A = this chain, B = another copy of it.
Amino acid sequence: MKKLGVCVIGVGEMGKRHAENFRRHVPEAQLVAIADVSAQRVQQVADELEIEHAYTSIEEALQRKDIHAVVIATPDKFHAKVIQAAAVAGKDILCEKPLAITLEEAQGALEAVSRAGVRLQVGFMRRYDPAYAAARKRLEAGEIGTPLVFKSVGRDKDEPPLAAYQSGVNGMLFYTNTIHDFDIARWLMQDEVAEVHSYTTSTIRPELANYGDVVAGVVNLKFCKGGIGNIESHAQALYAYDVRTEIIGSKGSVFIGSVHGAPATFLSSAGASAVLADHFLSRFADAYLVEARTFVNTVLTGKPPQVNGEDGLRALEIAVAAEKSHMSGQPCKVTRQAAD
Q: Is the CB of B204 within 8 A of A250?
A: yes
Q: Does A197 count as interface, using CB distance less than 8 angstroms? A: yes
| Contact call A226/B201, Cβ cutoff below 8 A | yes
Chain B residue contacts of A255, Cβ below 8 A: 264-267
The answer, yes or no, to whether A301 is at the interface (CB within 8 Å) is no
Interface with B: A6-14, A62-70, A71-79, A216-224, which one? A216-224
Whether A153 pairs with B155 at a CB distance below 8 angstroms is no
- Inter-subunit contact A276/B268 (CB<8 Å): no
* Max chain B Cβ within 10 angstroms of own Cβ: one of A198, A256, A262, A272: A272
Given the known interface contacts A238-B251, A272-B259, the answer about A201 and B264 at a Cβ–Cβ threshold of 8 Å is no
Q: Is the CB of B266 within 8 A of A276?
A: no
Give the copy number. 4
Measured as residues with beta carbon below 8 angstroms from the partner, the interface class of chain A is 35 or more
Which A201-257 residues have a C-beta within 8 angstroms of B? 201-204, 215-222, 225-230, 232, 234, 237-240, 246, 248, 250-257
Closest CB-CB distance, A61 to chain B, in whole Å? 22
Residues of B within 8 A of A256 (CB): 263-265
Contact A275–B134 (Cβ < 8 Å): yes
A52 within 8 A of B: no
Smallest Cβ distance from A217 to chain B, in angstroms? Answer: 7
Tell me if A167 counts as interface (CB < 8 A to partner B). no
Please tell me if A160 contacts chain B, counting CB pairs below 8 Å: no
Residue of B nearest to A139 (CB): B266
Q: Are A227 and B203 in contact (CB under 8 A)?
A: yes
Complex Cα–Cα for A340 and B270 (A): 45
Check if B203 sits within 8 Å of A225, measured CB to CB.
Answer: yes
A3 to chain B, nearest CB (A): 10
Interface check A131, CB cutoff 8 A: yes
Q: Which residues of B contact A304 (CB under 8 A)?
A: none
A144 within 8 Å of B (CB atoms) = yes
Residues of B within 8 A of A257 (CB): 263-264
Known: A204-B148, A265-B254. A216 touches B228 (CB 8 A): yes
Task: Pick from B50, B148, B203, B217: contact of A215, CB below 8 A.
Answer: B148
| Residue pair A220, B199 in contact (C-beta under 8 Å) | yes
Q: Which residues of A contact B (CB under 8 A)?
A: 23-25, 27, 49-50, 130-132, 134-135, 138, 143-146, 148-149, 151, 153, 155, 157-158, 195, 197-204, 215-222, 225-230, 232, 234, 237-240, 246, 248, 250-276, 329-331
Which 3 interchain pairs have the tightest Cβ spacing? A239-B267, A252-B268, A203-B226
